A and B are shown apart, each in its own frame.
Chain A
Amino acid sequence: MIELKTEQADASTEQLTRKPTVHADVQAKQTAKEMEEWFYTDVVKDHFFSPRNILRTTQEVENYKHDGMGMVGSPACGDMMKMWIKIDQASDKIIDCKWQTFGCGSAIASTSMLSVMLTENGGMKLDQALHLKPQDIVKRLIDLPQRKFHCSVLGDKALRAAINDHFSKSGQHSRMVIEGAKVIDKILKITDKDIEEAVLEGAVTLEDVQKKTKVGAQDKSCIPEVEQLIRFYREKFFGG
């Protein structure tokens, strides 16, 4: 308990000292940006209005020969993505990539951009592709509104699923990356993935996350770990 207290105190003093000195400008810019955030950058719009590497009909999907397919999301969540990749075995590179997306403008634009990044300059090495971060896609799109960040994450996850599918089909089982979820709240069976999802959807505080997940409602002992995870994911996706 005492440890937790000092940690919180540290975090708040750090915030206090950081805010006015470093971020004053950035904050002003962010507010202005947030006010206009419905309007995407030109790059986002370009990829939204003319998506690259798309498979348009069921016919095209059926005829597309691929080495791996990944699918994430569901229509119920409001986001769903399918990604197909072709691999050049010798160079271990992605030489072609197609996709389909059910989702908002940013979801469509980020998948399109991801497909370009994977296939440009003769294709990306699989190991490099596995190290792609959602931020890398956002950077290429110039920017995405913060609450749209999860859209670029979905593309990234679809890619990982497609690569795993390829590893599995080509017998490279040792290369498969299995992302296991760890149960944090023992009573409600809430995992670190659920917390990650909540943070991606814009939760900043413990209270926000609890509103979305009810984590710690009964199992109070998990709250310090939840708070750490929130900090971790905020840092990971939004840079702190």
Chain B
Amino acid sequence: MNNEIYLDHAATTAVDPRVKTAMDKYWTEEFGNPGSFHTAGLRALRALNNARSAVAKILNCAPEEVIFTGSGTESTNTAIKGVFRAAKATKKNHIITSTVEHPAVLETLEYLEKYEGAEVTRLAVNKHGQIEPAELEKAIRPETLLVSVMYANNEIGTINRIAELSAIAKKNRALFHTDACQAGGVLDIDVKKLGIDLMTINGSKLYAPKGVGALYVRRGVQIHPLIHGGGQENRLRSGTENIPLIVGFATALEFAQQERGPENARQTVLREKLIKGVLGSVPKTFLNGHPTERLPNNVNISFLDIEGEALLLMMNEHGICASTGSACTSKSLDPSHVILALGLPYEASHGSIRFTLGKYTTEQDINKVLEVLPGIVKGLRSISPVNLRMEDVLPQERLEELKALQEIAK
């Protein structure tokens, strides 16, 4: 991996070598189709069942409630479109979500709104990016079919209190879906504790290969498949099961969940070091997202007076891979919809950078970032005609919060 410092684990993770080993024999030796009536098929079926049981055990649900899919996006599409289409005969057509969801949720809902008669409410979030239970309470109505709120945000790492939110949905007889793509390998994903009906998880963020995801569908939830055919995956996802990827997914999820305690603690220390290091050494910066209720691997910092993509390019030149949801890297030139939803003015929404740590991230990596970043920012600021003051772009309470953080940093 040469000298590259990879801090973009929210985009995707490397495959854990142990996971790769577990998958190995399913490519050339155990290549059977679980649907076949012979021993080769039977062995494949066993591998599939074992994988499903392993995932179910972690989710604290029955194996038949776990559906393997091709990605987190597919899981989310199946959950939302599937539930909406199955409810056609009822009068329920209202779906509640938040403004900071992943495009897999937002675009799917926009589609249903436009072409299939869905009515969608998008809840605003608080300054840290969390959905307030009171807001959900206000928005929910008798015809609310589904509430879809992410477990943890992919850009700013803020964690939502899913159990509190799902209780409100249940009380109002609405289903609850959570997009747990960023949370799957990191947080407790016991569906009973979370009180949810549907959950999206994805392999490429938890050291499994890309191209595999899972959807939890509580028994009794009325749902239609996206893909019709041979009736695999409890009739919810036809197509021959991809055994190597499914085995990889289950193995990776098991490792991640077994090891998450100490690993989360380790990453939290590095995360805090990075946050405090940057805020302490680079003027006119602030943290986006919740200060404590955030993923152990997520650091999202805004830099005034410079643009995120320029900063990314400079860091890339130093071998540091990070990301920005802002302006120029995404297809749209608008600032990140998540950062904007936090209620900051446009001026403060362009220079945000996301660093996401992983299990192979070391303290040396963080030190390297802290070593080069101040100089890079200084250089870009020196050619920028903009000179904003923090007081002009941040509300008073955020300024005070920040001051406290910077005190600790010193």
| Segment among A17-25, A50-58, A128-136, A170-178 that sits at the interface with chain B | A50-58
The distance from the CB of B135 to the nearest CB of chain A, in whole angstroms, is 26
Contacts of B313 in A (CB 8 A): 40, 45, 48, 105
Given contacts A103-B310, A104-B307, is CB(A202)–CB(B333) below 8 Å?
Answer: yes
Residues of chain A from 28 to 87 with CB closer than 8 A to chain B in the complex = 38, 40, 45, 48-49, 51, 54, 56-57, 71, 74-82
Q: How far is the CA of A49 from the CA of B314 in the complex (A)?
A: 8
> Which residue of B has the minimal Cβ distance to A48?
B313
Counting chain B CB atoms within 10 Å of each CB, which of A45, A81, A100, A104 scores highest? A104
B306 at the interface (CB under 8 A from A): yes
> Which residue of B has the minimal Cβ distance to A61?
B385
20 A-B pairs within 8 Å (CB atoms) are namely A38-B329, A45-B313, A48-B313, A49-B314, A49-B317, A75-B388, A76-B345, A78-B346, A78-B350, A81-B385, A101-B384, A102-B307, A102-B386, A103-B310, A104-B308, A107-B307, A108-B383, A147-B331, A201-B332, A202-B331
A231 at the interface (CB under 8 A from B): no
Contacts of B385 in A (CB 8 A): 71, 80-82, 100-102
Q: How far is the CA of A107 from the CA of B313 in the complex (A)?
A: 13
The distance from the CB of A128 to the nearest CB of chain B, in whole angstroms, is 26
* Contact mask for chain B residues 301-341; partner A; CB cutoff 8 A; 1 contact, 0 none: 00001111110011001000000001111011101000000
Q: Count of chain B residues with Cβ under 8 Å from any Cβ of A?
A: 27
Q: Is the CB of B383 within 8 A of A56?
A: yes
Given contacts A75-B350, A150-B333, A201-B333, is CB(A57)–CB(B386) below 8 Å?
Answer: no
The 10 closest A-B CB pairs, nearest first, are A104-B328, A76-B346, A104-B309, A100-B385, A78-B350, A102-B384, A82-B385, A102-B386, A75-B347, A78-B327
> Which residue of B has the minimal Cβ distance to A105?
B313
Residues of chain B from 281 to 312 with CB closer than 8 A to chain A in the complex = 305-310
The distance from the CB of B393 to the nearest CB of chain A, in whole angstroms, is 9
Contacts of A51 in B (CB 8 A): 383
Q: How far is the CA of A108 from the CA of B307 in the complex (A)?
A: 10
Counting chain B CB atoms within 10 Å of each CB, which of A77, A107, A150 scores highest? A77
Contacts of A101 in B (CB 8 A): 383-385
A193 at the interface (CB under 8 A from B): no
Q: How far is the CA of A148 from the CA of B332 in the complex (A)?
A: 10
Contacts of B332 in A (CB 8 A): 201-202
**Cβ-neighbour of A148 out of B305, B314, B328, B350 (below 8 A):** B328
Q: Is the CB of A102 within 8 A of B347?
A: no
Residues of chain B from 378 to 396 with CB closer than 8 A to chain A in the complex = 382-386, 388
Given contacts A38-B329, A100-B383, 6 further A-B pairs with CB under 8 A are A40-B313, A56-B382, A76-B347, A78-B327, A102-B305, A108-B383
Contacts of A107 in B (CB 8 A): 307, 310
B binding-site residues for A, Cβ under 8 Å: 305-310, 313-314, 317, 326-329, 331-333, 335, 345-347, 350, 382-386, 388
Counting chain B CB atoms within 10 Å of each CB, which of A40, A56, A102, A202 scores highest? A102
Q: Is the CB of A78 within 8 A of B328?
A: yes
The distance from the CB of B314 to the nearest CB of chain A, in whole angstroms, is 8
* Contact mask for chain A residues 95-125; partner B; CB cutoff 8 A; 1 contact, 0 none: 0000011111111100000000000000000
Q: How far is the CA of A75 from the CA of B385 in the complex (A)?
A: 9
Q: How far is the CA of A48 from the CA of B332 in the complex (A)?
A: 22
Residues of chain A from 133 to 174 with CB closer than 8 A to chain B in the complex = 147-148, 150
The distance from the CB of A16 to the nearest CB of chain B, in whole angstroms, is 26
The distance from the CB of B171 to the nearest CB of chain A, in whole angstroms, is 37
Q: Is the CB of A108 within 8 A of B350?
A: no
The distance from the CB of B384 to the nearest CB of chain A, in whole angstroms, is 4
Counting chain A CB atoms within 10 Å of each CB, which of B309, B313, B326, B386 scores highest? B313
Q: How far is the CA of A151 from the CA of B46 in the complex (A)?
A: 56
Contacts of B326 in A (CB 8 A): 78
The distance from the CB of B183 to the nearest CB of chain A, in whole angstroms, is 28
The distance from the CB of B308 to the nearest CB of chain A, in whole angstroms, is 8
Q: How far is the CA of A82 from the CA of B385 in the complex (A)?
A: 7
Q: How far is the CA of A151 from the CA of B333 in the complex (A)?
A: 11
The distance from the CB of A84 to the nearest CB of chain B, in whole angstroms, is 11
Q: Is the CB of A80 within 8 A of B309?
A: no
Q: How far is the CA of A74 from the CA of B346 in the complex (A)?
A: 10
> Which residue of B has the minimal Cβ distance to A112?
B383
Q: Is the CB of A105 within 8 A of B309?
A: yes
Q: How far is the CA of A51 from the CA of B313 in the complex (A)?
A: 14
Contacts of B384 in A (CB 8 A): 80, 100-102
The distance from the CB of B110 to the nearest CB of chain A, in whole angstroms, is 11
The distance from the CB of B333 to the nearest CB of chain A, in whole angstroms, is 5
